[in-house]
Amino acid sequence: MTQRQRKALGIVLTLVTLVLWTALGLWIYDLWLVGAPSLVLLGFFVIFGLGWVVPAMAVIRWMLKPD
């Protein structure tokens, strides 16, 4: 697979992953955190909001591998 193909696939994978990650976060919020104290919500959204970075770094590293 060429680098160009990996980049195209990586962009699609990243976008799909972000949509699914967002849906999961909203589902968790709606199921367990509605009405939670503000500090709990802040902690959840900070941690969950940064949680997608680790998988995205792996995809970006894969996309940038030389041919």
Number of neighbouring beta carbons within 10 Å of residue 10: 19
Is the pLDDT assigned to residue 67 strictly greater than 90? no
pTM summary value: 0.84
Q: What are the residue ranges spanned by the domains of the chain?
A: 3-63
Within 13 Å of residue 21, how many CA atoms lie on the same side as its CB?
17
**Over the stretch 1-50, which tens digit does the pLDDT of each residue have?**
999 999 999 999 999 999 999 999 999 999 999 999 999 999 999 999 99
Residues 52/18, Cβ–Cβ less than 8 Å: yes
Per the CB < 8 A criterion, the answer to whether 21 and 52 are in contact is: yes
**Cβ atoms within 10 Å of 31's Cβ, excluding its own:** 8
